Amino acid sequence: MPNPSMLLVSQNSCLLREMDTIAAGLGDLDLGTCPGLDQAHALLETEGLALVLVDLPPRHEDKEVIAFLRALAARHKHCPCVILGDEYRTEQAVTLFRAGAAEYYGPIQDPAKLAYLVDVLTMVARTEGAAGGPARTPERLARLHSRNYALAPEMLDIMDQLRRVIPQETTLLLVGETGTGKTQLARLIHDLSPRREEPFTVIDCGSLSASLIETEMFGHAKGAFTGADREHAGKFTAAGKGTLLLDEINSLPLPLQSKLLRAVDDRQYEPVGSTRSLPLQARVIAASNVPLEDEVAAGRFRADLYYRLNVVGFFLPPLRERRGTVIPLADRFLANFALRNGRDLRRLTADAQRALAEYDWPGNIRELRNVIERAVALAPGPEVQLKDLPENVRAPKRWAEAFRADSVLCDVEGIIPLAKTKEEAEVVRIRQALTKHKNNRLRAAAELGISRMGLYKKLHKYGLMTSKSSV
């Protein structure tokens, strides 16, 4: 099978040389070039096209790029197209995302970032091409080509290290605040690994009670307990030879941590009520929204399990520490939600962009996604304005002061003044969400980007269970 091909549309001689070096370095990628989109249309008949990169000259007409994107989709439906502009323009980004562009950047000054971008976006095609392997599934390619959160400059070191361990069997630990993209990153690891044709299975350790999570993980034998009238295969079995993500592993009860340690160490486990051992064939990835070493120090997490899971560990920085990705992410979400809902929304106003860029995003990427979805639903015209954003985003200081002054929030007596500590800030955000949703904990947890079980734990921790909340 011939090598998959990459097409570069550019008149920039420096970029042409850089891309030639990148293709040669990868070794299994053929590079084709042409100076403009008119000539590029003729090259769309190329078989096995894995990536198209279009370097736009200044003041280029968007309609020409849109026509090319449509022609590319008609001939190579799942081939990603990366657009490089002379500068980042949010309106152009939204327009091209809606037309099908996989990524949109201003000029990429760092050759390492460009090399990594090409490497990741063509990895599946190159791997399968070399193996003469299975057909690329549309779902996996769609996921793979929507990873711009991972291609931010702040993430390059992490992603470079991940690329090295992806083909191996190494157990991985992903640590980061809720909403930073741990599940998406685990899915990316799976999609790029040799296990990509096998199941990707998630166990949310924070959403299940202690009485349910053991059977959810390991399954149970018939008659193991009252009501167990048939054998149940847990997710360790369902994962097969694929990838098993243990999300919110920090919420796993201590008694189950011992059983999990044995399963990961011995690569076998026993269903509840059974004496028969089953093989653990899946690769294990654990994710935590708090540093596990702190949980170990507090006696809530077994040290030996922590060391076993933390063979290779990665910390995903919160969105407030990678602010350069906020507007590109917002543009992508705007394009997706506008297209999905049939809205002709094309841009974020300068005031709206400024508010988004300055906000601290305690809910990280998930909160940003929710904010943009809300704005798309409410915006009356062709642009998202400042007034279309939630008050806590457009005026965070006034919002915090209002809650600091309100002495009857959520029916909780003795409001603690807001200080610059993480715990006190969490209390304020939890109260905000509970008040907004009339004390419905399920909806409040969804807005905060945590599980309902996670919210219960925080309510207990901060002494907020006296509020009369529903569900």
Phi–psi pair at 168, nearest 5 degrees: -90, 180
Q: Report pLDDT for 128.
A: 63
Among 253, 269, 276, 248, CA closest to 451: 248
pLDDT in tens, the chain (471 residues): 467 789 999 999 999 999 999 888 887 788 999 999 999 998 888 878 889 999 998 777 889 999 999 999 998 877 889 999 888 888 899 999 999 998 888 888 778 888 878 887 887 677 665 444 444 555 555 555 555 444 555 666 777 788 788 888 899 999 999 888 899 889 988 988 889 889 999 999 888 777 788 888 998 888 778 777 788 888 999 999 999 999 999 989 998 999 999 999 999 999 988 888 999 999 999 999 999 999 999 999 999 999 999 999 999 889 988 888 899 899 999 998 998 988 888 899 999 999 999 999 988 998 999 999 999 999 998 899 999 999 889 877 665 555 554 434 444 444 444 444 567 778 888 888 888 777 777 778 878 888 777 787 788 777 776 544 444
The residue written with tokens 């705007």 in the block is 334
User: Does the domain formed by 153-315 have CATH 3.40.50.300?
Assistant: yes
Among 27, 36, 22, 38, CA closest to 4: 27
Among 245, 134, 242, 246, CA closest to 195: 242
Work out whether the CA dihedral 328, 330, 335, 337 comes out positive or negative: positive
Give the bridge partners for 286, in sequence order. Answer: 173, 246
Burial degree of 312 (CB within 10 A; 0-12, 13-18, 19+): middle
Q: Where are the domains of the chain?
A: 5-136, 153-315, 322-394, 396-461
**Rounded Cα gap, residues 291 and 174, in angstroms:** 10
Q: Strands, DSSP E only, in 188-267?
A: 200-204, 243-247
> What tens digit of pLDDT does each residue of 407-461 get?
344 444 444 444 445 677 788 888 888 887 777 777 788 788 887 777 877 887 7
- The DSSP H or E segment spanning 5 is strand 5-9
- Give how far Cα 149 sits from Cα of 181, 325, 355, 372, Å: 8, 7, 19, 16
Give this prediction's pTM.
Answer: 0.75
Q: Do 153-315 and 322-394 come out as alike in CATH topology?
A: no
Q: What fold characterizes domain 322-394?
A: Helicase, Ruva Protein; domain 3 (1.10.8)
Q: What is the CATH number of domain 5-136?
A: 3.40.50.2300
- Give how far Cα 84 sits from Cα of 53, 152, 326, 447, Å: 8, 15, 18, 34
DSSP string computed for 131-178: HT-PPPPHHHHHHHTT-TTTTSGGGHHHHHHHHHHTTS---EEEE--T
**Rounded Cα gap, residues 311 and 388, in angstroms:** 45
The residue written with tokens 């990459």 in the block is 6
364 Rama sector, left if φ>0, alpha if ψ -120 to 50, beta otherwise: left
- Give how far Cα 364 sits from Cα of 90, 202, 284, 323, 329, Å: 20, 21, 25, 11, 11
Q: Report pLDDT for 434.
A: 85
